């Protein structure tokens, strides 16, 4: 019912959008999977070659305190699409996860997973639906991973087309035919790689998705469009084109930053090449001035392949290396170039930001947890928000020596508190003076701990966050 009401509120704007189709900006939302904060040149890497990403940052705005809404894929992506915290959506972990039944019924962990939503509800009014109802052509190309069942695929969530999107969190193979053995798997109706049509042996998935994106731009050059290009790269498996790999085989690795793997470097370069192709296409069609490009990642880098230097942690935990991500905005027409913004922002903020940039009325009941960044981008106006929150009432990596464990987090100014939900223990960090989270100062600042724990608990109540349950069968 709520979705019908929200649709009613935006539908009357459709005719206005049609009349202003040459005025409203295009959007290219360029989302990379598992790209670490320092995995690109403009964020500190000398080993990874990312000239197109670096150029985008030079011509646009680079954020230094941008956060994913989750430490793994699905929560972060659901937040981008809805403007809500994952805890409010109850999409708090990767969908689906290996070992789910074991966590629910086993003896290896002191808590049991909180129940979580396996499909992004159709009742949610996604950013794609609002843009589509206001005259935009919409395309989801690449990874989706906010559902288990095909009913909840992009084509039913506001996108005119879906190429490569399913419930799967990563590709079986980056070379044609991409799906490997999964297509024949029994009991997995959500695996539908047939949305990537055509191709030949040797074709590389990142290149293929880029071609589809270029075709979409060409087809919609005369009307506003929203391109959600969500690459599977640089998620495992780490597979690359040999010609791209060659330049890194003799390159000097950056051991200080943990940038030492030629294959991973080549995979990052394939994403950079994709961005370069998109930018070139926009230039050829004279669409640059009226196209907004947003570049970011869904969570921190994988701990096996990169270090997320100078941060502690990686994908799958709430240290800075797991949730702080690169973020670049470019809009040649209205955003001053070569800016660096230090304000804290999060994935919930994209939804209202895009609406305001497109001059579409905000929908506060939908993007309830997001704040528009437009005034910050355009006029340098500070954000009126004091805290950011994360909540993970689950485990990932059942059977591993150190699985991701239930925890909640608050960042308030320079302070960051991590609460372990298994035992109630906390860690407190001063990010202004300890960006690498080396010194837990919770015992020194006990009043601050109490203050932040109260704020964190009040937030969990406000969003009706699910909490893990005591595992009566736990056997240490």
For residues 470 and 7, the model is more confident at 470
Residues in the chain: 476
Phi and psi, residue 411, nearest 5°? -115, 125
Q: Which of 62, 15, 108 is nearest to 294 (CA)?
A: 62
Q: Check whether 98 has a pLDDT greater than 50.
A: yes
295 falls within a domain: yes
- In this prediction, residue 192 carries a pLDDT of 52
Over residues 314-351, the pLDDT tens digits come to 999 999 999 999 999 999 999 999 999 999 999 999 99
State the pTM of this model: 0.93
Burial of 199 (0-12, 13-18, 19+ CB in 10 A): middle
Over residues 142-174, the pLDDT tens digits come to 999 999 888 999 999 999 999 999 888 888 889
Half-sphere exposure of 118 (CA within 13 A, CB side): 11
Over residues 396-416, the pLDDT tens digits come to 864 444 568 999 999 999 999
Beta carbons of 35 and 297 less than 8 angstroms apart: yes
Beta carbons of 165 and 171 less than 8 angstroms apart: no
468 falls within a domain: no
Q: Check whether 287 has a pLDDT greater than 80.
A: yes
Distance CA(91)–CA(115), nearest Å, equals 9
Q: Check whether 103 has a pLDDT greater than 80.
A: no
Q: Which domain holds residue 262?
A: 2-19+26-386
How many domains does the structure of the chain reveal?
A: 1
Axis crossing angle, helix 205-219 with helix 262-284, rounded to the nearest 10: 10
Helix (H) or strand (E) holding 145: none
Query: Residue 412's beta-bridge partner residues?
Result: 387, 415
Q: Which of 328, 327, 329, 326 is nearest to 308 (CA)?
A: 326
- In this prediction, residue 10 carries a pLDDT of 53
CATH number at residue 271: 3.40.720.10
> Would you state the structure tokens that stand for residue 117, as one six-digit string?
């939503």
User: What is the mean pLDDT of the segment spanning 257-270?
Assistant: 95
Q: Check whether 68 has a pLDDT greater than 60.
A: yes
Beta carbons of 70 and 89 less than 8 angstroms apart: no
49 falls within a domain: yes
Helix (H) or strand (E) holding 24: none
Phi and psi, residue 327, nearest 5°? -150, 125
Burial of 23 (0-12, 13-18, 19+ CB in 10 A): exposed
Distance CA(356)–CA(219), nearest Å, equals 25
For residues 457 and 256, the model is more confident at 457
B/e letters for 424-440, b = 16+ CB within 10 Å, e = fewer, are eebbbbbbeeeeebeee
Over residues 221-263, the pLDDT tens digits come to 999 999 999 999 999 999 999 999 999 988 888 888 889 999 9
51 falls within a domain: yes
Task: Name the pLDDT band for 476 (thresholds 50, 70, 90).
Answer: confident
444 falls within a domain: no
């Amino acid at each position: 019912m709520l979705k019908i009401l929200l649709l009613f509120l935006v539908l009357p704007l459709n005719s206005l959008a049609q009349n202003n189709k040459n005025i409203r900006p295009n959007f290219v939302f360029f989302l990379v999977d598992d790209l670490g904060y320092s995995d690109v040149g403009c964020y500190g890497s000398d080993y990874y070659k990312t000239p197109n990403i670096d150029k985008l940052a030079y011509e646009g705005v680079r954020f230094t305190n941008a956060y994913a809404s989750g430490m793994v894929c699905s929560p972060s992506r659901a937040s981008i699409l809805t403007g809500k915290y994952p805890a409010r959506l109850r999409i708090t972990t990767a969908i689906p996860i290996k070992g789910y039944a074991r966590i629910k019924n086993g003896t290896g962990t002191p808590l049991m997973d909180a129940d979580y939503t396996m499909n992004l509800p159709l009742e949610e009014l996604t950013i794609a639906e609002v843009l589509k109802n206001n005259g935009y052509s919409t395309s989801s190309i690449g990874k989706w991973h906010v559902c288990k069942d095909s009913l909840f695929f992009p084509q039913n969530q506001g996108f005119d087309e879906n190429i490569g999107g399913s419930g799967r969190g990563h590709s079986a193979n980056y070379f044609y035919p991409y799906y490997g053995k999964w297509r024949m798997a029994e009991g997995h109706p959500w695996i539908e790689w047939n949305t990537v049509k055509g191709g030949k042996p040797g074709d590389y998935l990142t290149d293929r998705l880029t071609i589809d994106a270029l075709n979409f731009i060409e087809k919609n050059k005369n009307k506003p469009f929203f391109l959600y290009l969500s690459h599977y790269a640089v998620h495992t498996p780490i597979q690359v084109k040999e010609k791209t790999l060659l330049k890194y085989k003799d390159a000097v690795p950056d051991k200080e930053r943990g940038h030492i793997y030629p294959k991973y470097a080549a995979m990052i370069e394939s994403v950079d090449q994709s961005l370069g192709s998109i930018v070139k296409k926009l230039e050829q069609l004279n669409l640059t001035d009226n196209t907004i490009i947003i570049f970011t990642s869904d969570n921190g880098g994988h701990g096996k392949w990169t270090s997320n230097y100078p941060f502690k942690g990686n994908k799958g935990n709430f240290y800075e290396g797991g949730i702080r991500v690169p973020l670049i905005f470019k809009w040649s027409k209205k955003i001053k170039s070569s800016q660096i913004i230090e304000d804290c922002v999060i994935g919930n903020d994209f939804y209202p930001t895009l609406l305001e940039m497109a001059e579409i009325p905000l929908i506060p009941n939908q993007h309830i947890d997001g704040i528009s960044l437009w005034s910050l981008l355009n006029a340098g106006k500070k954000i009126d928000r004091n805290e950011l929150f994360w909540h993970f009432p689950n485990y990932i990596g059942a059977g591993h020596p150190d699985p991701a464990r239930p925890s909640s987090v608050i960042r308030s100014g320079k302070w960051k508190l991590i609460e372990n939900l298994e035992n109630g223990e906390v860690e407190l960090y001063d990010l202004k003076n300890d960006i690498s989270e080396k010194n837990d100062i919770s015992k020194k600042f006990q009043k601050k701990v109490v203050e932040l724990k109260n704020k964190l608990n009040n937030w969990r109540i406000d969003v009706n966050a699910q909490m893990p349950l005591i595992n009566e069968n736990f056997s240490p």
